């Protein structure tokens, strides 16, 4: 996403402003959700659900302003793919993955899909790696057991942020 942002800065200042505003929303809402989920193991609908139309409007307007309609389609496909994929995982293991994580995955899929197809797959992959490493560290230091639950939202947000930051 950094390459898209840089291209928009040079070639499409209006699209740059819209995309920068969308990413600022990602950081603000994502930061709040990380803290809340870390403390309570909950991802409140009052934060996640209003973020869907805000992200879709800002990202869609950025892509449309730049004439890159494929990004709008990618955004919608990414949101749907991650929501559906995580919904299936939730149905397979309700205790392992909460429905708040499903809704968050769909939201993050909008951002990842806007950036590109690779990001849609790398964001969740990074989340699993980060969450797994954290869980292993907790078990290794005896701060948790193999049956302990760990909030996954912070790792979903971290994985998405990492994918958006490092992938071209």
The domain total for the chain is: 1
- Whether the Cβ atoms of residue 127 and residue 75 lie closer than 8 Å to each other: no
Helices first, then strands: H and E counts in the chain = 7, 0
Give burial (CB, 10 Å; 0-12/13-18/19+) of 94: exposed
User: pTM of this prediction?
Assistant: 0.95
pLDDT (tens place) for every residue of the chain, 168 residues total: 888 988 999 999 999 999 999 999 999 999 999 999 999 999 999 999 999 999 999 999 999 999 999 999 999 999 999 999 999 999 998 888 999 999 999 999 999 999 999 999 999 999 999 999 999 999 999 998 888 889 999 999 999 999 999 998
């Amino acid at each position: 996403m950094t390459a898209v942002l840089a291209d928009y800065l040079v070639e499409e200042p209006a699209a740059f402003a819209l995309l920068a505003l969308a990413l600022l929303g990602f950081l603000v809402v994502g930061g709040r959700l990380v803290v809340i989920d870390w403390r309570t193991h909950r991802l409140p609908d009052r934060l996640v659900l209003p973020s869907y139309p805000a992200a879709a409007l800002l990202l869609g307007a950025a892509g449309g302003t730049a004439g890159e309609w494929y990004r709008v389609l990618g955004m919608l496909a990414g949101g749907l793919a991650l929501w559906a994929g995580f919904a299936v995982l939730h149905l397979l293991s309700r205790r392992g993955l909460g429905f708040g994580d499903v809704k968050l995955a769909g939201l993050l899929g909008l951002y990842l899909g806007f950036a590109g197809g690779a990001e849609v797959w790398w964001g969740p992959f990074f989340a699993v790696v980060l969450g797994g490493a954290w869980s292993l560290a907790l078990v290794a230091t005896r701060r948790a057991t193999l049956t302990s639950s760990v909030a996954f939202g912070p790792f979903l947000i971290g994985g998405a942020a990492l994918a958006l930051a490092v992938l071209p």
